Chains A and B, each alone.
Chain A
Amino acid sequence: MKLTLKIWRQKNAQDKGAMVDYKIDGIEPDMSFLEMLDVFNEQQINAGEEPVAFDHDCREGICGMCSLFINGEAHGPDRGVTTCQLHMRMFNDGDTITIEPFRAAAFPVVKDLVVDRSSFDRIQHAGGFISVNTSGNTIDANTIPVNKKDADDAFDAATCIGCGACVASCKNSSAMLFVAAKVSQYALLPQGRIEATDRVLNMVNQMDHEGFGNCTNTGACEVECPKGISLENIARMNREYLSASLKG
């Protein structure tokens, strides 16, 4: 496959950055998108040019490290996959592919296609956990009966890998789907109910503090989420938040 790549190049966080056009040849349809970028970078290095910086880690669709806004969509045109699981067979020979970093004030660009998503970490630190005494007398979680539906919903919410595709896809750069998934996975389980009030208030407060936009229920996040996290979680978080606000 011969392709034209339009890639966002930015030297560092202070640089203004710009889209730059490149040509690439010899791409196999069975390559992953990141393998295509590996080939591109090899071509750049051989030509004495700066390779493009992009995030990646497990390349198995489970770590949430890879990002990229490809042809106008987070993780590209395929559904239910991260960029590392996107394959070049989704494109045609001769295509022009536009590759940009995830855009949000709360995700500042570090270099080229790499963005700083530590705002998600700070939201997690604000309440995305349960406090358990691990001094040796911890009760086995499986001894507490959990309704099957709640267990399934909590598990579905817990599959969020925190990649940030929801923020990147949302026209408002809202992080509601991510935060809602984290709030829901605990709110649905007995172990999580104990700190549920503080959790939702603190996590939403941190989310707002980070400068994410407001949810307008377009549903773009749900469509682009590689793990299929449902908007139902956002409704649950809204209920949790309103209930917690009245208690507080």
Chain B
Amino acid sequence: MAKSALLKSSIAKKVAMALSGIFLMLFLAQHFFINMTSVFSSNTFNSISHFMGNNPLVQFVIQPILIVGVIFHFIMGFVLEIQNRNARPISYAKNNGAANSSWASRNMIYSGVVILAFLGLHSYDFWVPEMVYKYVEVNPLDETRYFHELVAKFESPVRTALYCLSFVLLSLHLRHGFSSSFQSVGQNNKYTKGMKGFGLWFSVIVPLGFVVIALFHHFNH
């Protein structure tokens, strides 16, 4: 089989989508743990943030991989969505999707679009200023600035509300995406039930944690 045929196949696309999704979920988990420290200790949060922001491996290897992973995941999501819509040019007059599938599974594209919009806001809030601080203005290292920068962002009730709303959609996206990614890479066996249970908890605890962090800093400003 020609390599080009493999890359075009529906299964290869789904596996690529799943692997990028699993990578993004791992990133999300570490982001969750690091941000959670901001609720308990500003010093710990500052130390970890300083390490993540200045470690060459994180900055110049993992960060580019993450950016590519995010862009790949949403471009592939749109490509698959367009192909899927073309596969049914005439819609049903009556389609009872709720009878056989979850809302989250049928609306991944919409929850994904909200998450994408959130990533735009999130980059504007944190990533872009960080890049400007370090690489454009070339300011001196300051290990104590991260916590204050975080708290300042959650001063705005509108921004806090937008973040919380996005986390609800993130929860729904993860609710289906977690188990779906493992099914796509061919994992469906005696461990599947446990993985689904873990995925359900993951999809609730991680977004809920982010909501708690946002609200905590908003009300403790």
Contacts and interface: CB of A to CB of B under 8 A. Distances in A.
A104 B87 contact: yes
Give the most central of A171, A208, A220: most B CB within 10 Å: A171
A105 B87 CA distance: 5
A69 B94 CA distance: 9
B183 A231 contact: yes
Contact of A171 (B15, B89, B106, B189): B106
B184 A238 contact: yes
Given A205-B5, A217-B105, A242 B15 contact: yes
B99 A98 contact: no
Contact of A224 (B12, B91, B100): B100
A213 interface: yes
Interface of A: 6, 8, 19, 69, 71-73, 77, 98, 100, 103-106, 169, 171-174, 176, 201, 204-205, 207-208, 211-220, 223-224, 231-232, 234-239, 241-242, 244-245, 248
Most buried by B among A69, A106, A245: A245
Interface residues of B, number: 43
A236 B187 CA distance: 8
A208 B9 contact: yes
A121 B17 CA distance: 29
Contacts of B89: 105
Contacts of B83: 213-214
Given A174-B87, A212-B10, A238-B11, 6 more contacts: A71-B96, A100-B92, A103-B92, A204-B10, A205-B1, A216-B108
A71 B97 CA distance: 11
A71 B94 contact: yes
Contacts of A237: 11
A245 B93 contact: no
A144 to B, nearest CB: 25
A223 B100 contact: yes
Contacts of B108: 216
27 contacts: A72-B92, A72-B97, A100-B94, A103-B88, A103-B91, A104-B87, A105-B87, A105-B89, A169-B100, A171-B84, A173-B84, A204-B9, A212-B87, A213-B10, A213-B88, A215-B14, A216-B84, A218-B100, A219-B101, A219-B105, A232-B188, A234-B188, A235-B183, A237-B11, A238-B185, A245-B9, A245-B12
A234 to B, nearest CB: 7
Contacts of B12: 241, 245
Interface in B92-134: 92-97, 99-102, 105-106, 108
B165 interface: no
Contacts, number: 144
Contacts of A106: 87
B99 A211 contact: no
A239 B86 contact: no
The 4 A-B pairs of least Cβ separation, nearest first, read: A72-B96, A235-B188, A213-B87, A239-B186
A77 B99 contact: yes
B84 A172 contact: yes
A227 to B, nearest CB: 15
Interface in B37-84: 80, 83-84
Contact of B101 (A103, A223, A244, A245): A223
Contact of A103 (B14, B90, B188): B90
Given A103-B88, A213-B83, A219-B105, A208 B10 contact: yes
A103 B94 CA distance: 12
Contacts of A213: 10, 83-84, 86-88
